[in-house]
Structure 1
Amino acid sequence: MKIAIAGGTGLVGKALSNSLSKKGHTVLVLTRSDSRGSISDNTRYVPWLNKGNQPEKELEDLDALVNLAGSTINSRWTDKGKELIVNSRLNTVDELAKIIQNLNIKPKVFINASAIGFYGTSENQIYTEESTKPGTDFLADTVVKWESAVKQIEDLGLRTVLCRFGVILDAKEGALPRVALPYRFFIGGTIGNGQQWLSWIHINDVVRGILFAIENSELTGPVNFTAPEPIKMKDFGKTLSHVIHRPHWLPVPSFALRLLLGEMSLLVLEGQKVLPSKLLNHGFSFQYPHLDAALEEIFNK
């Protein structure tokens, strides 16, 4: 297949492009930098978003266009930071819509990143793709705007899939290295009250899920990318401590995290129990459905 990726240098983008390349697919990584040419035998950069760039010349006859671009949410949410988080996502979708409009042969499917932040937070509710009422916090509002922007691409006749990512577990990037750091110094413990749900997914299953969405023509709309077994934060900490052979004893109080992180603290102090109903109903098999096996692969492989 011929697949283009916007945001191909981020956590998911790098893992996806590497996996697709190893499988023999042709991968085009859209980049804002001056990088040109091949990354590997079947992966190459395509410059875009700069004056004079004409990425559409290389994006004809795509099997899939994957959009993972957007400013990181892992920074303090100042007013300026929030504006960047939202606008970077909306502007990217707008630019991709313009490119698609100019293609003679449009992609068969458009895959867009999204987030389970859509649902808001709760210690009691269970969310699936059938849960259509969004939350009321900043993340939920961002996701609503982001997913609404993709409607313009769907209106061009493309099958669209909105990958609502949970907390992605990876050895070097994302939230896990930060959460694991106190444990490595023997000061790890429950974050907040420990009753908040963590809807997680191993990076390998993210990549496999995206490829599944590309190949499965029946998948459309929002799709939750979370493991089938969410876990409460207190149990996550205990499992992590067991896997990396460190004690789980020193609680991290909520007020301290709120002082340190501001509004962004809701990412770890509040959560939601999200199930991947669509993936499971369409026959997707998780490589890491259980947290202990996922963490073992990440830390002890």
Structure 2
Amino acid sequence: MKIAITGGTGFIGSRLVDYLLTEGHQIKILTRSLKNKEAKEGVTYIKWLSDDSNPAVELEGIEAIYHLAGESIGGKRWSTEQKQKILNSRIESTNELLSIISKLKQKPKTLISASAIGYYGNSESETFTEKSKSVDNKFLTSVVHQWEGQVAQAREFGIRTVFCRLGIVLHANEGALNQMLLPYRLFIGGPLGTGNQWFSWIHIDDVIHLFAFVLQHEELNGPINLTSPHPKQMKEFGKTLGSILNRPHWIPVPSFALKILLGEMSTLVLDGQKVLPEQALTHGYSFKFPNLNEALTDLLQK
């Protein structure tokens, strides 16, 4: 299959590309710059989001698109400027993608877009599935709603459109888990805030396999949660992490300290949501790492 990917050189995108190549697909990666791109058999790099690019010409005949482009949510403190950048990067790249699709004589059958469980808002008591509505309208919730709203316009072209709402992706060297490891390795790990907030996690391998699963299962449409079927409260997550590392879980980090350190971005660790992957389970996906202990053991003891 001929597949286009935005964000194909990022944390998730690069791993998805490698997996799709093993499945025999031809990959076209949309990128802002063609400089210093690693040559790979089966991969073509196409310039986009610049005045001197015309990607539609090179994308004629593609059968599916993965849309993963967007400014990292946890990369920098949320200043007013950074919050606007987070939103704009998603809206502008989506609008450009829709413009490209409008120019294609043969439209792709499927558009699979990254999204986030931030869609649901934060709660310590609610359990969210794909059928759930939002419980607040904080910054992240608003971003995800606007993002999905733009992506949904692809349906006007008759394209199957799926929103992959990602939980906290676990990988030993990147993302949230990597940032949490240092305190435990220094014997000063402990609960963040109250520890009662829900941590809806997923192993990176299941992320990649689920993205491929969505492509293969044409009956899937709309939102699908990419989270483990067994979310944990932060205090339980920390205890499990400490146990696997053979380190104590004992020094709490109070909420006020994290708010001073991180500002509004502290919501990423102080607030949470209990999210279940109802769609994935209903359609027969079998998680490689459904349980936290197995997932962390795989990531940290390889």
Superimposed CA distance per residue, residues 23-72 of structure 1 (whole angstroms, 9 cap, x where no aligned partner): 22111111101338872111221111112211112212222101101111
2-structure distance, mates of 1:36, 1:101: 30
Structure 2 spans left out of the alignment, 5+ residues: none
Q: Deviations along 1:3-28, whole A, 9 cap, x unmatched?
A: 11101121110110111112221111
Structure 1 residue identity aligned to 2:40: S
Q: 1:146 to 1:281 in 2, by over 3 A?
A: same
2: CA distance between counterparts of 1:38 and 1:15?
A: 14
Aligned to 1:133: 134
1:32 aligns with 2:32: yes
Distance of aligned partners of 1:168 and 1:191 in 2 relative to their CA distance in 1, 3 Å threshold: same
Q: 1:158 maps to which residue?
A: 159
**Is contact 1:35-1:47 (8 Å) kept?**
no
State the distance in 2 between where 1:34 and 1:4 align. 15
Q: 2:48 & 2:295 partners in 1: Cα distance?
A: 36
2:111 maps to which residue?
110
SS at match of 2:157: coil
Report how far residue 242 of structure 1 moved.
1.1
Q: Residues of 1 paired with 2:137 and 2:243: CA distance?
A: 36
Write the deviation string for residues 86-143 of structure 1: whole angstroms up to 9, x where unpaired: 0110001100000001111111100111100011101100000110235221000001
Q: Equivalent residue of 1:150, what SS? A: helix
1:76/1:262 contact within 8 Å kept: yes
Q: Does 1:82 align with 2:89?
A: no
| SS of residue paired to 1:39 | coil
Q: Is the 8 A contact 1:190 1:249 kept in 2?
A: yes
Does residue 1:200 correspond to 2:201, yes or no? Answer: yes
Determine whether 1:290 maps to 2:291.
yes
- Which residue does 1:269 correspond to in 2? 270
Moved more, 230-239 or 151-160: 151-160
**Residues in 1 aligned to 2:178 and 2:7: alpha-carbon distance in whole angstroms:** 21
Q: Secondary structure at the match of 2:77?
A: coil
Deviation at 1:154, TM superposition (A): 1.4
CA distance in 2, matches of 1:35, 1:47: 10
Matches within 5 A, 1:222-301: 222-301=223-302
Structure 1 segment 53-64 matched on structure 2, within 5 A = 53-64=53-64
Match for residue 148 of structure 2? 147
1:38–1:45 contact (8 Å) kept in structure 2 = no
Distance of aligned partners of 1:102 and 1:134 in 2 relative to their CA distance in 1, 3 Å threshold: farther
1:81 is displaced (CA, Å) by 0.6
Match of 1:9 in 2: 9
Give the AA of the match of 1:78: S
SS of aligned partner of 1:266: helix
- Deviations, residues 185-226 of structure 1 (Å, cap 9, x unaligned): 111011111111000001111110011111101100011110
Aligned length: 301
Q: CA deviation at 1:152?
A: 1.5
**Worse-superposed segment, 118-127 or 238-247:** 238-247
Which aligned pairs between 1:64-103 and structure 2 lie closer than 5 A? 64-74=64-74, 75-103=76-104
> CA–CA distance in 1 between the matches of 2:244 and 2:171?
15
For residues 135 and 12 of structure 1, the distance between their equivalents in structure 2, rounded to whole angstroms, comes to 28
| Other structure's SS at 1:155 match | helix
- Please give the alpha-carbon distance, in whole angstroms, between the structure 2 residues aligned to 1:201 and 1:37: 29
Query: 1:299 offset after TM fit, Å?
Result: 0.8
Contact 2:107–2:157 under 8 Å retained in 1: no
Q: Matched residues in 2 for 1:150 and 1:29: separation?
A: 18
Q: Structure 1 length as normaliser, TM-score?
A: 0.97
Distance 2:31 2:18 in 1: 16
- More displaced, 54-63 or 239-248? 54-63
> What letter corresponds to residue 199 of structure 1 in structure 2?
S
Q: What TM-score do you get using the length of structure 2 for normalisation?
A: 0.97
The one-letter code sitting in structure 1 at the alignment partner of 2:15 is: A
1:177 to partner: Cα distance: 0.6
Structure 1 partner of 2:19: 19
